[in-house]
Structure 1
């Protein structure tokens, strides 16, 4: 097991949440009369896979590395501005361009302005201890032992998109409202952008969680992914173009730059 920690991690990261989400799918088709809340796939399934794999394949040093990344706050102020400002800027640009589309953005329809602060606190905290601990805290440093940072972020983005696949078949999920291809392109682009930030921010999971949280809240508040096909693809296009813009810098960075573990643990 110690020879293939990434394989163990990805198998567990897919298996635990998919099993939980599978109960909702089984309920929808009438196989069972109950289901486990989908949110537990994030709050329980993913952390169990992440910390369980870290402990089994790397012991306390691997777990400690994860925990320290969560509180790695000594990062140049510029990268805090990027983590917060870039997601907001993407949504704002999409709203602006959306005025030229048949269906302008339904700003505030999903999240009213009065709820933004609470949504940001909840999202940043949730992604800090769930997805970003898993994808950037555990997986990305180890992928960068095998690939350059750009390739690692692309591989991770593809797997990250695929990980969400069951949610597209759950009737009341956000993913069920949008096309999987566009979501996948958006997710891969976001993975590249977070990977770029992560590599400049000393491997801080905290900065990655800020980017992730501000991205989700900006998208929800602005309505740029749920206000019609034209605006959806405008938003995805902006994300892809920005990811392409940073990819050259990300490709050139030393794969050991974000203070990776001393060994592949």
Structure 2
């Protein structure tokens, strides 16, 4: 890597973080001050494209070079299937593991749904009058999450994937090696989310076990695991759309089994049952470590 390319790589991080953090902080202020959830979500979606924008500004404007990102749709079918359905498998494993460790936190009463519907009706009234139950919710939400949601969410996720997996990871692995590159890449990706985690409780809420420090640390470990799996998919296919669809599928299904908890147990969200919890992430983390140690 030449001196100018190193400068470009540094500039990439400055832009990817600076632009995204401006969006995240402003979005958080709008939510906290004005309660504007719609604009908050829109600005967070915009922030997801900042890594791609940073790549384009560095490679096309500063260095005047190709981005090197693989945009061509390609790759063996098994990698596409892994990207599409793998996140759902990890989500199921996370919930099974979490409730195996904490069986008393498995709540089949429908209290989470009652709270989600504003608390105006209890779980039995919801089931009787609206036909909404834990089972119906999980079937409908889960079906959407593994069919239509991945390609829809992919369109937003590709901004991050192009920047992190398409551009950042090849450079980090070239300079630091596979293990250190994936470790650092995961931490960088995790820290990139910190403003909205601290300001609005993104991912774990604001009142949870060990808040806010434990959530920030756990999230970086989760990002190492997920970064490794997404990087592996991109390595195997050379197609950024594969990792983007996996990212989109993960976003779609990650919170599915929260419905089986009591809202009062949100204090333990940092542990599970989502695959971003300290316990819930273990299957995903185990695979990430195994793939890295066998140098895949």
- Residue 103 and residue 71 in structure 1: after superposition, are their counterparts in 2 closer, same or farther (change >3 A)? farther
Q: Deviations over 1:84-124 (max 9, x none)?
A: 33322211212223442232387747x82464344322211
Give the Å deviation of 1:28: 6.6
- For the 8 Å contact 1:13–1:46, the answer to whether it is kept is yes
Moved over 6 A (4+): 33-36, 224-227
Give the Å deviation of 1:9: 0.6
Q: 1:21 aligns with which of 20, 24, 49?
A: 24
- Backbone CA RMSD of aligned residues: 3.2
Cα distance in 2 between the residues matched to 1:114 and 1:86: 14
- For the 8 Å contact 2:23–2:46, the answer to whether it is kept is yes
Partner of 1:11: 14
TM-score, with structure 1 as normaliser? 0.77
- Residue 82 and residue 150 in structure 1: after superposition, are their counterparts in 2 closer, same or farther (change >3 A)? farther
Partner of 1:249: 294
Partner of 2:157: 127
TM-score, with structure 2 as normaliser? 0.70
Aligned-partner SS, 2:43: coil
Bigger Rg over Cα: 2
User: Are positions 1:208 and 2:237 aligned together?
Assistant: no
Aligned-partner SS, 2:253: helix
Give the Å deviation of 1:7: 0.7
After superposition, residues 97-246 of structure 1 pair within 5 angstroms as 97-100=97-100, 101=102, 102-104=104-106, 108=137, 112-113=141-142, 115-116=144-145, 117-128=147-158, 130-171=159-200, 173-174=202-203, 176=205, 179-201=215-237, 203-223=238-258, 228=269, 229-231=271-273, 232-246=277-291
How many residues align? The count is 242
